[in-house]
Chains A and B, each alone.
Chain A
Amino acid sequence: MRAKVCFVFLLASVVLPGLTFAQEGHPLVGTWSGDWGPTPTHRNQVTIVMNWDGKNITGIINPGPDVIPMKVVTLDSTKWTVHIEADAKDSSGNPVHFVVDGKLDNILSYKRTLAGTWNHGNIKGDFKVTRD
């Protein structure tokens, strides 16, 4: 049974990234994937999922067993900038605070992007994610 579940997740992870659906509503809605890191060579894969309920933007970082719920997500539509904050724990159980500030680009494209700074505890870096 466990093997079947793993297979389904594996299959989904292979198939779903290949599907791109137009999304012409709120520009943050959807699944975004890319990477962040402190240097151009030290990168970490990241997936962000955001939703809009008509009043608030909600989201999660890295869906799965280590999912991190977003605590704050705001969009400044005058500049198309996005501010995200989230709290998590590192592998030692110590609290880590994420502060992410980015700017939307190619807003009308299916493959719009969000890029900026990604501060993860004491580590400062940059990030870029593309809407899947």
Chain B
Amino acid sequence: MRYRFIAVLAAAALMLLPSMAQPSSAQNRRPAAAPAKPTPRWPDGTVRLGPPPGEKGLWQPNGRPILAEPETDPAIKDGQGRGAFSGPPFPGKPKESEVPFQPWARALYEYREANLFEPHTRCKPSGGPRQFITPGGVEFVDMPETKTVYIFDENGPQTFRVIYLDGRPHPKDLFPSYYGHSVGHWEGDTLVVDTVGFNERFWMERQGAPHTDKLHLIERFTRTDSNNMKIEVTIDDPGAYTRPWTTGFFIRWTPNAEAAEYICQDNNQASTMMVGTEESVDRGSRIVP
């Protein structure tokens, strides 16, 4: 599949900021979405997660695409690009202090906040909610004939994730992977996706909330109209949290945008982080991982 990127002034900035995936003002200069139309649907009435017939577009972050509201020093976090997207707050999003971290997980979360060293900046795939928190956005590809939904990353290593809607269960003895194994079903107009089988090689969100290979993720995708999608996430990971917790964020439709060929490794300015230490990160050198 070959794409050509059209539209969005953010594109140029994104190509120059390869894998860092930090939001910039350019990413907020998205073309204004047309007034929202009703949620697009397939002939059988099922919600379309991709574009309506004859149209094109991508989903990009909206609001604060983070899992917990910062409390300690939001100015610093915003300055680092975290939560810098403008948009609506997600109702009921927990504050950092309300997240039921295990002690080690909270300490690691706080450590990560002070030491940006995210695998995403090393062109690694980012599973879980982190998949939706890149400036380039994602593309949903509905495949009703095969009962699958693909979610393509536009940043990072340009990988994709598959959601099976054919009623299959999770396999036993899953080999842990970046995106895990996702099965979904529709509850009214909400796609409910259950994912297990994650590995521990990525951050599941930009702020650095840890997870383990025990992570069980339940995502609820609700396209409320043609321009907006609500993603509610329940994180059930007894390896890192004392109980399941629920949060969420929004993504916004960017009309007329198409995916571009984007090779993270080709211009990776942060790849020394793959082999260096926190004290000796050299962001000036290029090393293809």
Whether chain B is bound by chain A comes out as: yes
Which chain A residues have a beta carbon within 8 Å of chain B's beta carbons?
21-27, 29, 52-54, 75, 77-78, 80, 106-111
The 8 closest A-B pairs by CB, nearest first: A25-B200, A77-B107, A108-B117, A22-B201, A54-B239, A77-B104, A25-B212, A106-B277
* B240 close to chain A: CB less than 8 A: yes
Given A54-B239, A108-B111, A108-B112, residue A27 in contact with residue B104 (CB < 8 A): yes
A111: nearest chain-B partner, CB-CB: B277
B59–chain A nearest beta-carbon distance, Å? 25
Which chain B residues have a beta carbon within 8 Å of chain A's beta carbons?
103-104, 106-108, 111-112, 115, 117, 119, 124, 200-203, 210-214, 238-240, 274-279
Among A22, A26, A80, the residue within 8 A (CB) of B124 is A22
Assess whether A26 is in contact with B104, with CB atoms less than 8 Å apart.
Answer: yes
Contact count A vs B, C-beta below 8 Å: 67
Interchain Cβ contacts under 8 Å between A and B, 20 examples: A22-B201, A23-B200, A24-B203, A25-B200, A26-B212, A26-B239, A26-B240, A52-B239, A54-B214, A54-B239, A77-B103, A77-B108, A106-B278, A107-B108, A107-B111, A108-B117, A108-B278, A109-B117, A109-B276, A109-B277
Assess whether B108 is in contact with A106, with CB atoms less than 8 Å apart.
Answer: no
B208–chain A nearest beta-carbon distance, Å? 9
| Residues from chain A with Cβ under 8 Å of B103 in the complex | 77-78
A21: nearest chain-B partner, CB-CB: B201
| Residues from chain B with Cβ under 8 Å of A78 in the complex | 103, 107
User: Complex: how many Å from CA A29 to CA B214?
Assistant: 14
| Residues from chain B with Cβ under 8 Å of A75 in the complex | 104
Assess whether B119 is in contact with A25, with CB atoms less than 8 Å apart.
Answer: no
B201: nearest chain-A partner, CB-CB: A22
